[in-house]
Each structure stands twice: as C-alpha cells, then as structure tokens.
Amino acid sequence: MMNLIERLVRDSLPMPDHREIADWAADQVDFGNMEAFKGHYNVENVPWTMAILQAFRDPRVRKICVVMPPQESGKTKAAEVCLSWRICERPGKLAFNALTNVKAEQWSDTRWKQMVGDAEIRPACKAITERLSHNRHNKKKRRFIFRDGSFLIIQGAEVDANRQSDSVEVQINDECQLWLQPWLSQMHKRTRAFKETHKILNIGLGGKIGSEWHQEFLNGNQGEWSHHCPSCDKLYQYRFNLRDPAGSTIRFDKSTVHVLPDGTLDFTDFRATVYAECPHCHARIDYDEELLAKMNLDSLRRGDGYVFMNPSAPPDVVSLHTNAFALGRRPWWAIVEPFIKATMGRSVFAT
Ligand SMILES: [Zn+2]
C-alpha cells in the first residue's frame, strides 16, 4: 500500500516508476465491470502472461515473441497493459499493428477505447487520458497524440506503406500467424533507427511450420509454460502430437471412440481416457480445472514456469509459448477431440 506522502510525491513529480508492469497495472488499470476479470488488473488471473510484462520492461530485451491460444490466454490484454505502461511511464513513438486497417479500426474502437475511455465510458487506465493532448485523436481514431508530442499509431500491416513509413521505437504486432511473408521483417525494420532501445512485441497463435512467424519463435529462447508435477514436483510440459505418441505427454485411448452405424463418432467413453503423464515419475494427472488453476499460480509464484528449450538464444530475443492444455480453461478431451475426429473422420470416409 502506498502511504499519503508517497502518493503526494508521485502525483506532483514526474518520477520514473520502477515497479514491475504487473504492479503498476494493479494500481493504474481498473476494468470495472467490462472484462471477464472484473476490477483492478491482476496478473494472477493470467499467470503465464507475467513473463510478457517482465520482458517488455527489461531494457536488455529488444524482441518478444508470444504464441498463445485465442481469447482466454490474455495475451492481447497483456500487450495493451504494456502499451499503457509505456505511454504513461516511458513515452515515445509507439505503434500497434493489426493485420488489416479494418481490424486496426476495430481494435481502436473496442479494446483500446476501453483503456482510454471516451465521453460515454470510463477509462480503464485514467493515467493515459491525462497524457492525451486536447486534440485527442483524428477522425479515424488511429493516431493518438500525447502532450509531449509522443504518439501511438494504430494501423494494418496489409498496407505496404504502413510497413515502410516513419520510424517507431515501440511496436506491437497482433495476430502474427496471419501475416504474409515478409511483412514481419519489413515491419521490424521500422524500429531500426532505435537500435539500442527499440522494443518489439509480436503476438499470435501457433502458425505454419517454416513460416516467418514460426522462425521468429525459433529465434528466441523458446520458453514453454510448465507445471510442477503434483507427485514428484518436477516441471513438465504438455506435449500433444498424434504422429509422435512417444514424445507426447498427453495420453488417450483411441480405441474407445465408437463409430456409429451412420458413420459419426461417439466420444462418450473416450473422454475419461484423456490424461497427462509426468515424463519424470510417470504419474497420471487428470484434468481438473481447480488443480490447473493452482498449478498455474504455483508456477507464477515460484517464478520458474517457463522452461527454455533454446537457452543459447541471444539474450535480447525472448519467445514464450503457452498451450491450451497448460492454460487449463477447457477440459483436455475437448482439445484432443477435434484432432482425433479429423484423422478418424478421414479413415471412415475412405473405407
Ligand atoms: Zn512427476
């Protein structure tokens, strides 16, 4: 808790804030009733995103690549929190790049508006509003200018000119798995003028093997969000690969899927056969939403949740991956089923 003196000093002097972004946001970002997680920002609701916030603040890190499942992972929210922190604490030339101009406009009109507010809605981050100049933004709502002349541009990567115009120091690139080659490397070049200080945050879902996006992930240290085994306490990852059952830690019994007379598949018996196996002690771990929430919090609090598969990567390039199994918001059978359906469906059709 901040005492009165500290509050007075902080409010009257433009002191740089040395807190972690998560602590800054817990104080400065309040979603009210607008988000699934109500009230003040709390990284414990999305433990796997703490590392994004830490890397974004770390002055040694130039590039962060984040691969996480859609919606419930909180990665876009983490990017928005990073952006808000930068605007308030380390202002500069900032850019948010969506896939298309239409998506950029949508993001500005919904998610970003939630942060900065407008005549009708209360801002989630009041500190940004205080930094905006009177001429808050142009009619397209895609350029925000702040009192000190720093700015945030919001645009689509699809437009050639948007990948080649003026320099920016901070760049957030959204839905990178959908970007065409070589959009990412072109966009990254826009930060070249800030060789020593630029910050790039790329976020997206898993993409095609061999794509520019995939290469971005491989270039980093490849952190994989992991849990401590409830039996042996060692860290394990969730690996699911139909073509490599031995290398997977997700186990299931495909023979329990029944093919009905009309050719459709019945997964009723299959669901109970899906579990994770600890690669160290071979304990069986069954899906349990509460247990998963506990393990996620445990990995955050112990600070060792990301296990780096490429620790020899350059220290200024961070890549982070959390998959849907580790996230724990959906039963594991629900994640596995569509993949089984795709393979068995084919064989049913073929025979
Ligand atoms: Zn174990």
Question: pLDDT per residue over 277-334, tens digit each?
Answer: 999 999 999 999 999 999 999 999 999 999 999 999 999 999 999 999 999 999 999 9
Q: How far is the CA of 232 from the centre of ligand 1 (A)?
A: 4
Percentage of the chain beyond pLDDT 70 is: 91
3-state DSSP call for residue 308? Answer: strand
**For the segment 101-140, what is each residue's pLDDT rounded down to a tens digit?**
999 999 999 999 999 988 888 999 999 988 887 665 554 5
- pLDDT interval class at 8 (50, 70, 90): low
Q: How far is the CA of 45 from the centre of ligand 1 (A)?
A: 25
**For the segment 40-90, what is each residue's pLDDT rounded down to a tens digit?**
999 999 999 999 999 999 999 999 999 999 878 999 999 999 999 999 999
What is the Cα–Cα distance from 137 to 99, expressed in whole angstroms? 21
Angle at 313 between CA 305 and CA 70, to 5 degrees: 50
Look at residue 2 and tell me whether its pLDDT is greater than 60: no
Q: How far is the CA of 337 from the centre of ligand 1 (A)?
A: 25
What is the Cα–Cα distance from 193 to 189, expressed in whole angstroms? 9
Q: How far is the CA of 274 from the centre of ligand 1 (A)?
A: 17
**For the segment 129-168, what is each residue's pLDDT rounded down to a tens digit?**
888 876 655 545 688 889 888 999 999 999 999 999 789 9
Compute the mean pLDDT over every residue in the chain, rounded to the nearest whole number.
91
Helix (H) / strand (E) element for 53: namely helix 50-57
Q: What is the pLDDT of residue 17?
A: 77
| Comma-separated ranges of CATH 3.40.50.300 domains in the chain | 18-219
**For the segment 62-75, what is each residue's pLDDT rounded down to a tens digit?**
999 999 998 789 99
Return residues with CB closer than 5 A to ligand 1 (ion): 229, 231-232, 278, 280-281, 283
Q: How far is the CA of 282 from the centre of ligand 1 (A)?
A: 6
Q: Quickly tell me which residue has 């200018």 as its tokens.
A: 145
Q: What is the pLDDT of residue 350?
A: 46
Tell me the mean pLDDT in the region 96-101.
Answer: 97
Q: What is the pLDDT of residue 263?
A: 86
The one-letter amino acid code at 284 reads R
Look at residue 1 and tell me whether its pLDDT is greater than 80: no
Tell me: domain 18-219, CATH 3.40.50.300, correct? Answer: yes
